[in-house]
Amino acid sequence: MTRADISLLLITLVALPFVYLHYWQAAGVGTTVRILRGETLLRELPLNKDQEITIEGNLGLSHLQIQNGKIRFTDSPCSGKVCIHKGWLSHSGDFNACLPNRISIEILGQGKFDSMNF
Amino acid sequence: MSLHRWFLLLLALALMLSASGCQQAPREYKQTLLVFGTLVTVTLRDVDEKQAQQAIEQIRQDLNFMHEVWHPWKPGPLGRTNALLATGGWFSANPSVLPLIEKGRELAERTDNLFNPAIGQLIALWGYHQDDPPKGPPPSRAAIKKLLAQHPRMTDIEFDGLRMRSRNPAVQLDFGAMAKGLAVDRVIDYLRNQQISNAIINAGGDLKVIGRHGDRPWRIGIRHPRPTPDKDENVLAALDVNDGESVFTSGDYERFYAYEGRRYHHILDPRTGYPADQTMSVTVIHPDAATADAAATALFVAGPDGWRAIARKLQLRYVMLVDKNGRIIMTPAMAQRIILMDPEDEPLIVDPAVDPR
């Protein structure tokens, strides 16, 4: 083998882990969240940026919090507060809604699960 | 460059392309619909865009139609049926509600009436007959007692050809614990007729699948009935779902309200008239989604002591029950398939077929 062969092999071997990581990383962790009012898409946000969001629904304002790749309802103007009780969502395919306020969130991305049962 | 260097270069390129190739795997279409009083997520694979859009639009229409027709109190076919049942007289049965009544009768009998769609009045008394959850307060003990004393049962309904009536005027039909299952069965049948062979329908957390996700089965997570607020993981278990199977969970966390510090959830025990209080959640896998739906409710009501007898009567193979203390009980067949996310969870494995209770 010449030096060119060896460099080519080295480049391939160095590049492969990056290619692998780029395409197969983040198993189980959703990457973005979709926020809908009714069926209308309002926003699509990355889960890797911590922030708090306020969304106006049918009854009033729903408050959402994104932290460490997860999202949850922190407040909503519904009576039951079932949406808040559900806690953090982080897996792709998972979703949660404040149905009285018509606000729902859904995690997208290549994750561990295709769908969530509850 | 000589030939073998070209070969090496091509090999390197091929390796990289093969890695990126999996990103361009068959297109997956996913849409969330606000129908049937809940969120319904439709996931379709290996279809073209036009076919996916047509199918999703048809599913929306079908589910809207079923929601209207099967709603117990709106002025649709089931609402009218309820009004006529209360009179005690004979009337012409509406064909669009007959499948519900037939299936409901069969499942009520096979669950010893723990799934009892004739208790519509009790469900309305608690306020769980609407899409939006009630606020409380809970109904009075006297009002509950009065309804229970009338013993509404599916067997009170009699047929004469196409005419029907109820011998018991207290019978009011509410198929809330089965209609979603029947609707999901219908949607899956429609997709199969459209030659769509890989799909998931998830209706408010209950689901049925066709086919596979590429070269592996569809994989789902079952949400923990009591997620720890500050813990990342809200998943109790993982499960691979096979072609034609449905997975339904009934949980006390799905619909509830708190009144004066007490929680009142939507799964009512037809024997006591109050929310069943021995269980947190029950998960059932079954090919028939309507059966899975009603079975999950009936086993929830039966609780950790009574579920075996009902599971035997329904010939269920796959059951997981989390009791009020968080103890996980499951059938041997379920234990073989399910993967619990917390390695410290030690499920109690019980075979209803051999356990005499």
Q: Lowest mean pLDDT of B65-74, B132-141, B345-354, name the range.
A: B132-141
- Given a cut of 50, is residue B26 above it in pLDDT? yes
Which residues of chain A have a CB within 8 Å of the CB of B135? 79-80
Report the number of secondary-structure helices (H) and strands (E) in chain B.
9, 17
Residue A113 in tokens: 């699960």
Cα of B293 to nearest chain A Cα, Å: 12
For chain B, percent of residues with pLDDT exceeding 90: 83
Taking the C-alpha atoms of residue A75 and residue B65, their distance in angstroms, rounded to an integer, is 33
User: Is residue B266 within 8 Å of residue B253, measured between CB atoms?
Assistant: no
**Whole-number Å distance between alpha carbons of B64 and B117:** 21
pLDDT value of residue B231:
64
Average pLDDT of the residues in A63-89:
89
pLDDT at B300: 98
B229: confidence class by pLDDT, cuts 50, 70, 90: low
On whether residue A23 sits in a domain, the answer given is no
Of B197, B281, B22, residue with least CA distance to A24? B22
* Tokens at B37, concatenated: 């009083």
pLDDT band at A19 (very low <50, low <70, confident <90, very high): low
pLDDT at B283: 98
Q: pLDDT: is A90 or B126 the higher one?
A: B126
Going by C-beta distance under 8 Å and a sequence separation of 6 or more, which residues neighbour residue A72? A64, A65, A84, A86, A87, A88, A89, A96
User: What's the one-letter identity of residue B83?
Assistant: A
Please say if the pLDDT value at position A52 is more than 60.
Answer: yes
Q: Inform me whether the pLDDT recorded for B352 exceeds 70.
A: yes
CB contact under 8 A, A117 and B5: no
Asked if residue A93 lies in contact with residue A116, where contact means CB atoms within 8 angstroms, the answer is yes
Instruction: ipTM value, please give it.
Output: 0.88
d(CA B29, CA B42): 8
Share of chain B above pLDDT 70, in %: 91
Can you point out the beta strands (E) in B171-317? 199-203, 206-210, 218-223, 235-241, 246-251, 256-259, 262-265, 279-286
CB pairs under 8 A between A and B: 145
Say whether B43 and A115 touch across the interface (CB within 8 A).
Answer: yes
Confidence category of residue A18, pLDDT binned at 50, 70, 90: low
Residue A101 lies in a domain: yes
Better-predicted residue by pLDDT, B254 or A15: B254
Assess contact for B114 and B270: CB atoms under 8 A: yes
The pair of structure tokens assigned to B237 is 């278990």
> Cα separations (Å) of B32 from A63, A107, B262, B276?
21, 12, 33, 31
A40 touches B at CB < 8 Å:
no
Q: Is residue A13 part of a domain?
A: no
* Residue B86: both structure tokens together: 């209360």
CA dist B330 and B284 (Å) reads 10
pLDDT in tens, B95-109: 999 999 999 999 999
Chain A hits for B33, Cβ within 8 Å: 39
Q: pLDDT by residue (tens digit) across B262-293?
A: 999 999 999 999 999 999 999 999 999 999 99
Q: Do the Cβ atoms of A80 and B255 come within 8 Å?
A: yes
Q: What is the pLDDT of residues B141-199, one digit of tens each?
A: 999 999 999 999 999 999 999 999 999 999 999 999 999 999 999 999 999 999 999 99
Sign of the alpha-carbon torsion through A90, A113, B38, B284: negative
Task: Label residue A102 left, alpha or beta by phi (over 0 means left) and psi (-120 to 50 means alpha).
Answer: left
Instruction: Please name the member of B33, B207, B220 whose beta carbon is closest to the beta carbon of A39.
Output: B33
Query: Quick one: pLDDT at residue B14?
Result: 62
Which residue has tokens 């796959």? B318
Ordered by where they begin, the domains of chain B are: 77-166 (1.10.3980.10)
- B280 vs B133, higher pLDDT: B280
A56 and B CB contact within 8 Å:
no
Burial status of residue B311 (CB atoms within 10 A of its CB: 0-12, 13-18, 19 or more): buried
pLDDT at B276: 98
| DSSP SS3 for A66 | strand
| Partner-chain contact B205 A117, CB within 8 Å | yes
Report CB contact under 8 Å: B221, A91. yes
Split at pLDDT 50, 70, 90, the class of A73 is very high
| The pLDDT value given to residue A28 | 46
Q: What is the pLDDT of residue A3?
A: 81
Give me the sign of the Cα torsion angle B130, B136, B138, B140. Answer: negative
Q: Which helix (H) or strand (E) holds B68?
A: helix B49-69
Å from B246 to nearest chain A CA?
10
Q: Among candidates B236, B128, B116, which has minimal Cα distance to B175? A: B116
Instruction: Please tell me the distance from the alpha carbon of residue B21 to that of residue B212, in angstroms, as a whole number.
Output: 19
Domain containing A98 equals 32-108
Q: How confident is the model at residue A25 (pLDDT cuts 50, 70, 90)?
A: very low
Contacts of B231 in chain A (CB under 8 A): 88
Interatomic CA distance for residues A68 and B294, integer angstroms: 38
Total number of domains in chain A: 1
- Average the pLDDT over B9-21 and give the result: 59
Q: Which of A20-29, A54-63, B170-179, B212-221 has the lowest mean pLDDT?
A: A20-29
- Nearest chain A residue to B200 by CA distance is A115
Find, among B153, B182, B184, the residue nearest to B169 by Cα: B153
Instruction: With CB atoms and an 8 Å threshold, state whether B202 touches A116.
Output: yes
Name the residue of chain A whose CA is nearest to B225's CA.
A118
pLDDT of residue B134: 87
Residue B95 or residue A110, greater confidence:
B95
pLDDT at A24: 47
| A6 in reach of chain B (CB within 8 A) | no
Neighbours of B46 (CB within 10 A): 18
User: Is the model's pLDDT at B19 over the cut of 90?
Assistant: no
Asked if residue A27 has pLDDT above 50, the reply is no
Structure tokens at B339: 């993967």
Distance in angstroms (rounded) separating the CA atoms of residues B238 and B25: 23
Q: Which residues of A touch B1 (CB under 8 A)?
A: 4
> Do strands A103-108 and A32-37 pair parallel, antiparallel, or not at all (unpaired)?
antiparallel
- What span, in angstroms and rounded, lies between the C-alpha atoms of B165 and B240? 44
CATH number for A97: 2.60.320.10
Q: Is residue A37 part of a domain?
A: yes
Chain B contacts of A113, Cβ < 8 Å?
A: 219-221, 235, 238
| Residue B93 CA neighbour count, 13 Å, CB half | 18
For residue B32, the distance in angstroms to the closest alpha carbon of chain A comes to 7
Of B247 and A106, more confident: B247
Total residue count of chain B as it appears in this document? 357
Of residues A8, A79, A118, nearest to B8 (C-beta): A8
Mean pLDDT of chain B: 92
